[in-house]
Structure 1
Amino acid sequence: MSTDDWLLLAGLVGAIFLGTSTQRITGVGFALISSPLLVALLGPFDGVIVVNIFGTLTAFAVFWQVRSQVEYSRAVRMLVPALVAIIPGAWVAREVPPHVLSVLIGALVVLALAGSFVARPGGFFSGRPGAVLAGAVSGFMNVTAGVGGPAVSAYAVASRWPQTTFAATAQLYFFVLGLTSLLAKQALPDLRWPQVAGCILAVVAGVVVGEQTSRRIPPQVARTGVIALAFLGSGLILTRGILGWVGY
């Protein structure tokens, strides 16, 4: 391989390793961490497809590792509205200008996260309605903006969902959501076999390192990381929309 090929391989492996380890520690964050790097390396189409593929693989790998801690009923509660919301989300993604959509979604998630700080345990956002709303918004965002984590994070904060079970349950949720998105797109990225092999190894390494690291991080610190990543993701979406709106 040429020097450029090695640099590309190193960038792919690094982006996926960082995204995977972050997701294992906090329960979310693969797309938020890896997407900017992968899109810069591969372009918007292949970059997003790689995020989808290895984000789904990461979610499954982590889910299998923590499956005994998954709250399956809660996952189903979020998944059903999420999968339904993918249908109108796909239509909106085709019809609404991307920058307008990004501004709207980013602003809504920032408001949802801000509101979660004052939500009372046992309130509206703590029970079944909150799970349904979070799933619907997350599914809609996943197909329109490529980021489904912030809405789920907002629900986790509002409902005071324990970090351990949230991080486990979120993996099943993101795996099903990612697999559905991939089946809907019916496309594969233009990668060579060494790049594919390197990305798979990066997922394995990220899960192992994230597992070891998560044991040393207090739940409150991990939850703070979830909130920070959710704000970061919504902020990136909002910024991208504003820049697109003004012509940059």
Structure 2
Amino acid sequence: MEIIAGIMVLLVVASILQRVTGMGFALLLAPFLAVMVGPHSGVILTNALSFLAPLLMIAAVWKDIDWRRLAVIVPAALLVMPPFGWVMANTPQGPLYIVVGSIVILALAVTLWLNRIDVHADGKGLLVATGVGTGGGVVLAGVGAPAMTSYAVLARWNITSFAASLQPLWALTALTAFGVNYFYSGESLPSFPWWFWPLCVPVILVGMWAGGGVRKLVSESLVRKLVIGLALFGGLLSLITGIRDVAGL
């Protein structure tokens, strides 16, 4: 019961963060769930909850979703997830996390530098690359947000539309990641009472409601900084996880 209560508290906080910035749900949940239910089961549970939360949020942000961009990003992300899943299953985890984390941090640094010198980039090729980076990041290290953040900065994507458009993307990539992880590892969801999943729905909705109130109180500039900060945190978390694994800590 203590574990379930802890998960419900995390769900409220993660849902608030997701409603305000469009991202950060899995990033917040994953480290805590890994401790609560074990690393492998934690990943599977994170994937399942990361499908449920954005799915519930889509209706609230529907009018702001940019389906034109998603029409390119989503197929690219989903297509690369199975082969990246094979890479993950056949590569030592520690070095893989280090490589992914380093690439994420470098890519964000370059993107922010380009933004400072007022470089604007967009187009189908960049959208495809963003999808590949998102899908690969989700499967390899659970960090799909940095690729999307880099694109949003370069393309000057309106932050409200960006946050809304992430919801169907996260729902689809989480569902696919769940299938890929199950196929390669055979891991299944941890065992909870039957009422656990129905209870998650109102808890997430409460977080969404609170996040909607918070979103009205913060500026576009602050939300943009939070999005970039979360993406950077994801890269650092991946890098630190890899270093600890290699060092046997």
- State the TM-score, normalized to the length of structure 1: 0.92
Per-residue deviation, 1:51 = 1.1
Cα-to-partner distance string for 1:45-73 (whole Å, 9 max, x where unaligned):
22212211111111111112111111101
The answer to whether 1:137 aligns with 2:133 is: yes
Q: Distance in 2 between matches of 1:76 and 1:178?
A: 17
**SS across alignment from 2:113:** coil
Question: Is residue 78 from structure 1 mapped to residue 73 from structure 2 by the alignment?
Answer: yes
1:168 is aligned to 2:164: yes
In structure 1, which of residues 7, 12, 21 is the aligned counterpart of residue 7 of structure 2? Answer: 12
Is 1:31 the counterpart of 2:26? The answer is yes
Cα separation, 2, equivalents of 1:198 and 1:48? 20
Unaligned regions of 5+ residues in structure 2, if any? Answer: none
Q: CA deviation at 1:123?
A: 4.2
Provide the aligned C-alpha RMSD in A.
1.6
Deviation at 1:83, TM superposition (A): 1.1
Distance 1:119 1:128, change over 3 A: farther
Measure, in 2, the Cα distance between the counterparts of 1:150 and 1:178: 16
1:54–1:203 contact (8 Å) kept in structure 2: no
* Correspondence 1:232 to 2:223: no
Deviation at 1:147, TM superposition (A): 2.3
State the AA in 1 paired with 2:147: A
Where 1:115 maps in the other structure, the secondary structure is: helix
In structure 1, the residue matched to 2:175 is: 179
Q: Distance in 2 between matches of 1:83 and 1:194?
A: 31
Whichever residue aligns with residue 178 of structure 2, its letter is L
Q: Does the aligned pair in 2 maintain the 1:12–1:199 contact within 8 Å?
A: no
Match in the other structure for 1:153: 149
- Classify the secondary structure of the residue corresponding to 1:193: coil
Instruction: Decide whether aligned partners of structure 1 residues 136 and 242 sit closer, same or farther in structure 2, where only a CA change above 3 A counts.
Output: same
1:170-199 alpha-carbon deviations (Å, 9 max, x no partner): 111111111222233273331113433432
Whether contact under 8 Å (2:14, 2:28) holds in the other structure is yes
Q: Deviations over 1:61-105 (max 9, x none)?
A: 111211111110101211111112112201110111111110000
Q: CA deviation at 1:146?
A: 2.0
Unmatched segments (≥5 aa) in structure 1: none
Q: In the alignment, which residue of structure 1 is the partner of 2:101?
A: 106
Is the 8 Å Cα contact of residues 11 and 37 (structure 1) preserved in structure 2? no
1:96 is aligned to 2:97: no
**Partner amino acid, structure 2, of 1:199:** C
Which of the residues 28, 31, 35 maps onto 1:40? 35
> How many residues are aligned here?
242
Q: Deviations over 1:146-176 (max 9, x none)?
A: 2211211121122211100000111111111
Q: Is the 8 A contact 1:70 1:165 kept in 2?
A: yes
User: TM-score if structure 2 supplies the norm length?
Assistant: 0.91
Contact 1:9 1:198 (C-alpha < 8 Å) held by counterparts: no
Deviation of 1:122 after TM superposition, in Å, equals 6.4
Q: Percent identity?
A: 31
